[in-house]
Amino acid sequence: MTTLSSAQHTLTGAMYIGARRVVGQRAAIHAINPATAETLQPAYGGGDSADVDHACQLASQAFASYRRTGLAQRAAFLEQIAEQILALGDELIVRAMAETGLPRARLEGERGRTVGQLRLFAEVVRAGDWLDARIDPALPERTPLPRPDLRQRQVPLGPVAVFGASNFPLAFSVAGGDTASALAAGAPVVVKAHSAHPGTAELVAHGIRQAVRLCDLHEGVFSMLYGSGQEVGTALVAHPAIKAVGFTGSRAGGTALMRVAANRKEPIPVYAEMSSINPVFLLPAALQQRADSLAQGFAGSLLMGAGQFCTNPGLVVAIEGDGLQRFIDGAQQALASSSPATMLTPGICRAYSEGVSTLAAQPQVDTLARGLEATGPNQCQAALFSTTAEAFLAEPDVLGMEVFGSSSLLIKCRDEAEMLRIAEHLEGQLTATLQLQQGADTALLSALLDILELKAGRILANGYPTGVEVCHAMVHGGPFPATSDSRTTSVGSAAIKRFLRPVCYQDIPDTALPEALQQANPLALRRMVNGGY
């Protein structure tokens, strides 16, 4: 444990621009307790483009030393951040509960995930495989021309801008996966805090700042700003010192940042995780044999956390028949008795209600079930709709639109061919789920896999897409509009690759080479030599 006690911290409403606390001069942001509609103190003054510039300048200065930190030192920093987040104690959980309406158990779990993620990246940094060291030794005798000595390693792109998500105030926010993987890569981070949980953000930023100080790093390694997406967000992505962007949020927000990044004098990569309806395919044998438990499992996944997950199952695809009718009966029953749940923000709740109304108003859409009616503010009343494959294929943009919350659309297909056609017409997805019986429906399964591996980042069987493991094989990504860059993942150890680029060193004297490439291999890395290991 560390110097920071678990004593109560006083929230100040100030940003972190390196070591400096600065109260923004733009319109103040207040968190709202969505469960009570109560406005929370303190006020968080919004930053402006001058604040952005200061933070980015500091990040740029910090980059010179931070990118050269040793593997052990950088790993220790990530672990120190984890310690400092734990040291914030219950205050972090209490504030996050107030700002998000999420229950204690969920937030404690999310804190564990956040801390675990930082520690995983510490391990990844220490192991050094991410440096992808490659050596093609000189061939002085080769004819007609000798080959020089060529060595490659990865270096960080430069300072990274991170935009936290509303729905994971810890694991996808200030010290979430984007920040952890960028810091692991050797990139300073400038966070734009999500306006829905500024107090949670301030506490976590305090923890990171303490870790920066304790590890004796340049103050510019981490800054955090409040403010509008329009002003602060745009200025951040447009700033010449920023070399990559991590974002989790809406399709409109993500594509706006993509445009800013593409129109810079020097375009930069944007890793935006945006929009996904996460289709669930109920294969015939599974539906036949366990329609009831499928209905229960599906309803549980849909209702969890008011459906406020990027991987919420927003689409169910099945073939008409007895089995499907039993599934519908079970799902209707489960949803009709489901209690309303507090959503993250008034804006999200409003968008949910509008999305549900839009779907309900479509002529080809039937409402199969609604949850219990709500009394308090910002409540999500679950919804299950159905339509035909034909109707969906005629209006994929309207019916395939993401409704963020516990809403799902069941597509009834006449046969396997229609089910495959639905799969083919889907946009890019984070996940696709297959409910199947081992050994049954093998031809359909094979055909679906062929289509879905081109549509989704992750394909799962006999589970539900909510729940994203932080590990080495995870892909939390997928073709547009699920993300802006299907070549990457924002969860798991491979997320570090997003902030790296290769550099080749040709005939550079051994003593001047980075340690990763020196002949004696002082970092004891696994290195590719002549294409092999």
What positions carry a catalytic annotation?
273, 310
**Nearer residue to a second copy within complex by CB, 17 or 432:** 432
Helix-helix angle 177-185:71-87, to 10 degrees = 150
Q: 3-state class of 64 per DSSP?
A: helix
**Is 508 an interacting residue with respect to a second copy (CB under 8 A)?**
yes
The b/e string for 494-511 (b: 16+ C-beta within 10 A; e otherwise) is bbbbbbbeeeebeeeeee
CB-CB contact of 351 with 307 (8 Å): no
Q: Which stretch binds a second copy (CB under 8 A): 9-17, 204-212, 232-240, 255-263?
A: 255-263
Of 103, 240, 300, 502, the residue at the interface with a second copy (CB under 8 A) is 502
What six digits make up the tokens of 239? 């700033």
**Is 254 an interacting residue with respect to a second copy (CB under 8 A)?**
no
Which is nearest to 221 in space by CA: 189, 244, 193, 191? 189
Q: Footprint of a second copy on residues 71-110 (CB under 8 A)?
A: 109
- Write down the least CB distance from residue 243 to a second copy, Å: 8
Spatial distance between the Cα atoms of 279 and 272, rounded to a whole number of angstroms: 20
Of 42, 449, 515, 521, the residue at the interface with a second copy (CB under 8 A) is 449
**Nearer residue to a second copy within complex by CB, 30 or 501:** 501
The size of the interface with a second copy (CB under 8 A), counted in residues, is: 80
Spatial distance between the Cα atoms of 272 and 254, rounded to a whole number of angstroms: 5
CB-CB contact of 302 with 294 (8 Å): no
Which is nearest to 192 in space by CA: 64, 92, 46? 46
Q: Which stretch of DSSP H or E encloses residue 418?
A: helix 416-424
**Is 301 an interacting residue with respect to a second copy (CB under 8 A)?**
no
Binding mask 408-437 for a second copy (x = CB under 8 A): --------------------x-----x-x-
**Is 253 an interacting residue with respect to a second copy (CB under 8 A)?**
no
Q: 3-state class of 532 per DSSP?
A: strand
Of 48, 136, 231, 395, the residue at the interface with a second copy (CB under 8 A) is 136
Spatial distance between the Cα atoms of 284 and 141, rounded to a whole number of angstroms: 65
**Nearer residue to a second copy within complex by CB, 372 or 460:** 460
**Is 487 an interacting residue with respect to a second copy (CB under 8 A)?**
yes
What six digits make up the tokens of 44? 């968080």
**Is 486 an interacting residue with respect to a second copy (CB under 8 A)?**
yes
Of 22, 155, 236, 299, the residue at the interface with a second copy (CB under 8 A) is 155
Of 9, 111, 151, 218, the residue at the interface with a second copy (CB under 8 A) is 151
**Is 506 an interacting residue with respect to a second copy (CB under 8 A)?**
yes
- Write down the least CB distance from residue 271 to a second copy, Å: 11
Of 18, 188, 198, 269, the residue at the interface with a second copy (CB under 8 A) is 269
Binding mask 359-398 for a second copy (x = CB under 8 A): ----------------------------------------
**Nearer residue to a second copy within complex by CB, 1 or 520:** 520
Of 38, 90, 415, 469, the residue at the interface with a second copy (CB under 8 A) is 469
The neighbouring-strand residues paired with 384 are 369, 408
The neighbouring-strand residues paired with 162 are 191, 246
- Write down the least CB distance from residue 356 to a second copy, Å: 26
- Write down the least CB distance from residue 180 to a second copy, Å: 16
Q: Footprint of a second copy on residues 29-48 (CB under 8 A)?
A: none
**Nearer residue to a second copy within complex by CB, 38 or 469:** 469
**Nearer residue to a second copy within complex by CB, 202 or 427:** 427
**Nearer residue to a second copy within complex by CB, 209 or 476:** 476
The two beta strands, 429-435 and 456-461, are parallel
The b/e string for 447-481 (b: 16+ C-beta within 10 A; e otherwise) is bbeebbeebbbbbbeeebbbebebeeebbbbbbbb
Of 485, 490, 523, 525, the residue at the interface with a second copy (CB under 8 A) is 485
Spatial distance between the Cα atoms of 129 and 149, rounded to a whole number of angstroms: 21
What six digits make up the tokens of 442? 């093998």
- 3-state helix, strand and coil shares in percent for the chain, rounded to the nearest 5: 40, 20, 40
